[in-house]
Amino acid sequence: MQDPIDDKITSGSHHSYWNDSAEPLRYEPLSTDLTTDVLVIGGGIAGLTLGCSLLKEGISAVIFEKMPEDTSHGAAISLSSNALRLLDRLDIYNDLRNQSFVHSEASIQGPEHKICLFQTPEVLTTRRQTLISLLYSQYINLGGEIHHDHALKNFDAAKCEATFTNQKKYGFKHLAACDGIRSLIRDTFFATNQSPKYSGYSAWRGIGKSNLQRIHFALGPGSHIVSYPINKEEDVSFVAVKKEDYEFKESWKEEGSVKDLLDDFSIYDSTIFPVLEDSRPLYKWGIYVRPPLKSMISNNITLLGDAAHPMVPFLGQGACMAIEDTYSFAMACKENISNLRVAQAAYDFVRSKRTKKIQRLSMMQGKIYHMKNPLLVSARNAVMKYTNIPGTDLKKIHDYDAHDEMQIYLAFGDLRARGNFLN
């Protein structure tokens, strides 16, 4: 039996927090022991999407979350077409679209002047809680169960048995870790000596009021601000990021003041921010990353989402990658339910190249956004103004179809037979 894992495996300090004033979801407590195909640790976007995807494929799955209720309701997220087409296959896209804001263009400006307006592939922006609620409802409608207030105590990999701090035991065929950037499952069962590392960026996030009708980027030397409406009620989310040598702590709950925010971004006209109400808190946090793993699988354990490949947010692909991961893994499981080791090998092969590429491109985008040299800043702005590179680069990322990718792999068995399909 493996050594005990501490009781912070799923949430708390090991969970991504995007907080606002939304009411938390509450769930009925469950009390029945069970045996299932896939035991899912973590009840966020990755865990819920995985639960929906598995149940749609006829595979039993149960989600376990440490917190007694959902507290990860969060501020806002953006979802591009590579994730939206998968959510459509899970039958939640239409409801999500009706409660969100859909974009087809974005604008970019410097601190003092407009740079360009460009067309984008469809991007949907919404409250994180809206997506969580829809995923949860669909998961329950499909017959799923979420065991809240379940902190993992012991995990016996040989017996495929999990014991929780409430002394309940659950048997399973496979464990799926969706427990975030500080995944203790990753730290306990995967050969890595590198904990999350400060990326060099700190960020502010909040929600205010504005009549903004598109995604708007403001780029300055060493910083950038992105704002976007998240519904039709003029709620606008913003993220303001600056390159900072000081290692700001990785807390999703560190509140700040409007004054501190404006001091941090004094080179910008304050009107660039939506109207910030005192009743809506602002949060500042340090952005942390982890290096790519050689493999996202180990024996009967699979890492998905931020547990496998956390990334800086500069391409808006963190949640999208989690959705791609979980949908792909469910497809592989359906075709190999009698041998989930084969399924996880297919998942690892297909997803490793894709996620490593997006991690790399996200870091590169961060360097572009946060240039400080005046000559490089001028060159960057000119390229954006006189070319369609921003829209073209996004289209390449957004056009990817995880369903088709996995389907081809499962049909041919070897991705190398597809030539340049991945390029």
* Greater model confidence, 327 or 220: 327
List pLDDT tens digits, range 193-252. 678 899 999 999 999 999 999 999 999 899 999 999 999 999 999 999 999 877 766 655
Residues 298 and 350 in one domain: yes
Q: Is the pLDDT of residue 21 over 50?
A: no
Residues 92 and 147 in one domain: no
Torsion angles phi and psi, residue 146, rounded to 5: -120, 120
Q: How many domains does the chain have?
A: 2
Average pLDDT over residues 286-296: 92
Residue 191: predicted pLDDT = 75
Residues 6+ positions from 286 with CB-CB distance below 8 Å: 198, 199, 201, 202, 203, 247, 248, 249, 250, 251
Q: Is the pLDDT of residue 417 over 60?
A: no
Average pLDDT over residues 167-172: 86
**Cα angle value 75/77/79 (rounded, 5°):** 160
CA separation for the pair 21, 12 (Å, rounded): 18
Q: Which of 266, 289, 312 lies at the terminal end of a domain, its last residue?
A: 289
Q: Is the pLDDT of residue 28 over 90?
A: no
Parent domain of 233? 76-127+206-289
Confidence of residue 279 (pLDDT cuts 50, 70, 90): low
Write the CATH number for 358.
Answer: 3.50.50.60
Question: Can you say how many angstroms the Cα of residue 405 is from the centroid of all Cα atoms in its chain?
Answer: 20
**29 in any annotated domain:** yes
CA separation for the pair 407, 402 (Å, rounded): 8
Q: Is the pLDDT of residue 275 over 50?
A: yes
Residues 297 and 277 in one domain: no
Torsion angles phi and psi, residue 331, rounded to 5: -60, -45
Residue 414: predicted pLDDT = 55
CA separation for the pair 121, 168 (Å, rounded): 47
- Lowest mean per-residue pLDDT among 149-158, 221-230, 331-340, 404-413: 149-158
Q: Is the pLDDT of residue 61 over 90?
A: yes
Average pLDDT over residues 342-349: 95
Residues 145 and 55 in one domain: yes
Give the three-class secondary structure for 343. Answer: helix
Q: Is the pLDDT of residue 314 over 60?
A: yes
**123 in any annotated domain:** yes
Q: Is the pLDDT of residue 23 over 70?
A: no
Confidence of residue 361 (pLDDT cuts 50, 70, 90): very high
Average pLDDT over residues 71-83: 81
Q: Is the pLDDT of residue 406 over 50?
A: yes
Task: State how beta strands 35-41 and 169-177 pair.
Answer: parallel
Select from 276, 284, 271 the least CA-distant residue to 240: 284
Confidence of residue 395 (pLDDT cuts 50, 70, 90): confident
Residues 50 and 140 in one domain: yes
Q: Is the pLDDT of residue 392 over 50?
A: yes
Residue 74: predicted pLDDT = 58
**Alpha-carbon dihedral 158, 163, 167, 170, rounded to 10 degrees:** -90
**189 in any annotated domain:** yes
Torsion angles phi and psi, residue 348, rounded to 5: -60, -45
Residues 41 and 183 in one domain: yes
User: Percent of the chain at pLDDT above 70?
Assistant: 84
Residue 17: predicted pLDDT = 33
